[in-house]
Structure 1
Amino acid sequence: MTGPDHAAPLLASLRAAVAAAPDDATLRLHLAELLIDAGQQQEAVTHVAAVLGREPGHAHAAALMGRALGAPREPDPSPGPAAEPPRPAVANGFDWAAAEAEVSDVVGPRFAPDDAAGPEPVPVGPPTGGGRFAVERPDLRLADVGGMDAVKKRLEAAFLAPMRNEKLRALYGKSLRGGLLLYGPPGCGKTFFARALAGELGAGFLAVGIHDVLDQWTGNSERNMHDVFLAARAAAPCVLFFDELDGIAQKRSAVVGGALRQVITQMLAELDGVSADNEGVFMLAASNMPWDVDPALRRPGRFDRTVLVIPPDDDARRAILEYHLRDRPVENVKLKPLVARTDGFSGADLAHLCEAATEHALLDSVATGTARMITQDDLLAAAAEVRPSTGPWFTTARQVALYANADGSYDDLAAYMKRRKLL
C-alpha cells in the first residue's frame, strides 16, 4: 500500500496535471480518489464537484462524492451463496439518503420539510422493432405529469375518451379518423404529453422529426414519409407523432421549389389511407407555429383537433424543479417561493435555472477552495437572472389571436391570453 509520504509526490504531480487540463474529468476523479485515500476529503470534494458541475449524472463522480462526504466504499461482492446482495443503485449509483444521514449534523436536509414530494420520473421502455424507424413502448401516463389539469382534461375529451370507449363510438357513429395537433410555446412538454398519450392507450410510440423525412436526393423524402407510415402500421396499435409539423409541412404557398411540396402531398396521401389502411395508427403532431402548417393538414380526417399546451402551472413547476434537482447536492431548499418566482417559465427554462444555480455554487466553491451545497440563495439568484423564453412566442401569438382567428381555431389561445392579461 502506498503510504502518505510516498503519495505526496504523486498527488503534487496530479495536481499540476489537473491545473494544466482542468476539463479532464478522468484525471480529476483519479486525483480525488487518491486524496480520499490520503484523508484529504475537503480537497477531494472540490475536484468531484467540478466534475459534477459539468456532468451531473456522472456515476463515478457521484460515488466519490459519497465517499468524500463520509459514505463508506461499497465492498466488491464475493461469489457464493453467502455473498450479500449488492446495494441497489439510486440517483445514478449514489444513495443521497444514506449520505445525508452520515452528515446530518453538518448539513441540512436537501428540501425543507414543508415541501411536498413530486412524482418520480417514469422510465420509457427501450425501442423495439427493427428497421430505420424504431417504435418505443412508453410506461408514462398522464397521471405522471405534475399539474397541467386543464391540458389533461382537454386531451381526455379530444382524444382519449373516443379511443377508449368502443361501444360509445359505435352508438354515436364516432370515427377514429383524424389526428390531434398539440401547439404552444417551445419547451412546454408537447412531446412529453404525446408519450403520455401513447402510454395511456397502451400503444407504441414512433416520433418523427424533419431530419427523419427530408433528404437532399430527389424522391428520397417522399419515400421516407411512406416508410414512416409503413413502420407505424406494422407496429399498430401505435401513436405516430410528427414533431415540429410546421417544418415538415409548412404552407405550400410559402414553399420555394417542388421538393417540399411533394413531401406534403405524400403525407396527405398517407394520412388519407390512399394506399393502405391506417387502422390502429393514432396521429399526433406538435408545432410551435401551427399557423404556418399547410391548411390541407388541418382539414377533417387529418389533424382536425387542437390542444394548447401552455407553460407549466404551479404544481407542474414544482415537479419539474424537483426532477432537475434530484441528483444535485442541494441543501434546505424551499420550493414554494421558487415556484412563485418562476410563473410563466417553460419546462426548458426551469431546467436552465437549475443549471445556472449549480454553476453559481460550483464557481463559488472553486473561488473559495471549499465545496458547498446548492442553496436557496443560488436558486433565487438564478431565477432573477433567467428570463422566460415564452415571451417572443406570445408576442407572435397575440397577432394571430387578434387578426387571424376568424374561424375560431385559436379561441383557446385567445382565452388563455386574456386570463393572463396578454391580450
Structure 2
Amino acid sequence: MSSDALIESLSAAIDARPDDLPLRLHLATMLLDAGRGGEAIAQVGQALARDPGNEQAQALMQRALGAAVPPPPPTPDAASAGPAPAAPAQRPAPAGAAGDDPLAAYEQELADVVPPRFARAGDEPEPVAGDHDRVYDVETATIRLADVGGMSAVKERLELAFLGPLRNPQLRKMYGKSLRGGLMLYGPPGCGKTFLARAVAGEMGAKFISLSIVDVLDMWMGNSERNLHELFQAARRNAPCVLFLDEVDALGHKRSQVSSSSMRTLGNQLLAELDGMEGSNEGVFVLAATNTPWDVDPALRRPGRLDRVVLVLPPDAEARRAILEYHLRERPIAGIDLHKVVAATEDLSGADLAHLCETAAEYAMADSVRSGEVRMIEQRDFDRALKEVRPSTRPWMSTARNVAMFANEGGVYDDLVAYLKKRKLL
C-alpha cells in the first residue's frame, strides 16, 4: 500500500476515533515523513489540545515547526537571468511585532493551517457598502393567526389596525388609511407577544425583523444610533415588513428617569425613526412588546407612533387547551383529563403551561426508571406537576394592580382595570 493510501486510511480511522492519540500521532509522523508539514501540525495540534503534556506530541510539533520551508521553484525568466541578487538584510521587527508576540509567531508558522486572527474566511464575501440585510436577520414568517389559540380580542384589534387595511387597498385609499403605524403589545411575561407578532407578519405575507436592545447598543459614541437607523432602513427596504421591537421599555425608557445621556440620545433616535424623518415608513408595521408599559416614554405612545396599545393576557381556556395539546402532541400520554388540567391552570402563562408538560413528563420518566417498566404520561403526573408549577404571572399582576389603581391617567389601562375587576383582583 502506498504511503498516500495509508495516510488516507489513517485519516478515516481518526475521524471515527478522534480521541485515539497514539493513532493521531502516528498519522502526524507519516505526514511529516511525506513532506506534508501543514497537515502534520494540524494533527499534532489536535493531540496537544487533548493532552497538553504529551512529550511525543511536543517533540513532533517542534520537528514540524523547525522543518525548513522549501524555496519556490524559479520561473523561466529568473533562470535565464542568471543568479539572483543577494536578498537585502532584514530589518529588525518593531516592538509588538511577531518577534515580541508569541501568538503572532505561531500565527505565521501555522498560516497554511489556521486562518489569521480577525480575518475573514476564504469563502466569506467582502462587505458591500449599503448592504445591511446580511447583518440583520430578515425572516419570512410561516405561522398565521390561526395558529394562535384563543386571544380573540387581540386578533380583532390587529385586524382593525393592520390586516383589514392591507387586504382592502381600494377601501384603504377611499378612507385615506395609511399603511404605516405602530402598536404596542403589553402583558405578563410568557404570554405569547413575540409569537403573536410573527403570526401577524405571516398573515400579512410580510417580512419579519426582530429588534432588541442587544442588536442596537454599542460601546462607541454614535454607533448605537447608527445601528438603530440601519435596522429601520432594512425594514424599509423589505417593505411590507413587520419590525418587532422586543422589550421596547429598554430602548425607549422614560427619559425623565434616564441618567445616561447616550440612552437619552438613543431614545430620541427611536422617536425620529418612528416619525419617518429619515425615510418613509410606508409599509413598515411597527409592533412593540413590553412587560412594563408604565416604564415606556410617553412620547412613544403619542398618535402616529405606538399609538395603539393592546393587552395580551394569560391564555384563556381555549388557548390553554391548544397550548397543552401542542406540547403533548409527540409525547406518550394516556388517560389525561385535559378539561380538568385546563380548569386548574387559569393563571398560568403559555411558558408556564410548557413547563407544566415538561414537569409531568419528568415524573413519568423518573417512575419508569425506578420501576424498570416504561409507562405513559398519566393524569397523576399532571396532578403532581400542578402542585409544583406556580404561575409566573402573579408578581406582574401585583404590580399591574398598583398601576391600575394609581397611575391610569387618561384611561390607558382601562382594559387592564376591567380584567382585574373580572378576576376580583381589584
Give the TM bin, normalised by the shorter chain: 0.5 to 0.7
* Bigger relative contact order (CA 8 A; separation at least 6): 1
1:159/1:180 contact within 8 Å kept: no
Which residue matches 1:50? none
Which residue matches 1:126? none
1:196 aligns with 2:186: no
Which residue matches 1:225? 228
Deviations 1:228-264 (A, max 9, x none): 0111111111000101101111111111211111111
Structure 1's consecutive aligned runs of 4 or more residues displaced over 6 angstroms after TM superposition are none
Residues of 1 paired with 2:261 and 2:170: CA distance? 45
Range that drifts further, 362-371 or 199-208: 362-371
- C-alpha displacement at 1:328, in angstroms? 1.7
Which of 351, 355, 378 is the matching residue for 1:352? 355
1:178/1:300 contact within 8 Å kept: no
What letter matches 1:136 in structure 2? E
Residues of 1 paired with 2:233 and 2:326: CA distance? 36
2:271/2:300 contact within 8 Å kept: yes
Which of 416, 419, 422 is the matching residue for 2:422? 419
What letter matches 1:184 in structure 2? G
- C-alpha displacement at 1:277, in angstroms? 1.0
1:396 aligns with 2:399: yes
* Alignment gaps of 5+ in structure 2: 1-131
1:337 aligns with 2:340: yes
Q: List aligned pairs for 1:210-249, cutoff 5 A.
A: 210-249=213-252
Q: Provide the identity percentage.
A: 64
Deviations 1:113-143 (A, max 9, x none): xxxxxxxxxxxxxxxx941112111121112
What letter matches 2:400 in structure 1? A
Which residue matches 1:280? 283
2:181/2:306 contact within 8 Å kept: yes
3-state SS of 2:377 partner: coil
1:405 aligns with 2:383: no
- C-alpha displacement at 1:165, in angstroms? 2.7
2:179/2:284 contact within 8 Å kept: no
Number of paired residues?
295
What letter matches 2:356 in structure 1? L
* Alignment gaps of 5+ in structure 1: 1-128
Larger Rg: 2
Range that drifts further, 212-221 or 337-346: 212-221
- Report the TM-score, using the length of structure 1 for normalisation: 0.67
2:191/2:312 contact within 8 Å kept: yes
**Cα distance change on mapping 1:175 and 1:237 into 2, 3 Å:** closer
- C-alpha displacement at 1:177, in angstroms? 3.7
Residues of 2 paired with 1:330 and 1:341: CA distance? 19
Which residue matches 1:64? none
Deviations 1:281-329 (A, max 9, x none): 1111001001101111111110000111111011111111111112222
Which residue matches 1:365? 368
2:209/2:241 contact within 8 Å kept: yes
- C-alpha displacement at 1:382, in angstroms? 0.5
- C-alpha displacement at 1:150, in angstroms? 2.0
Q: Give me the CA root mean square deviation.
A: 1.5
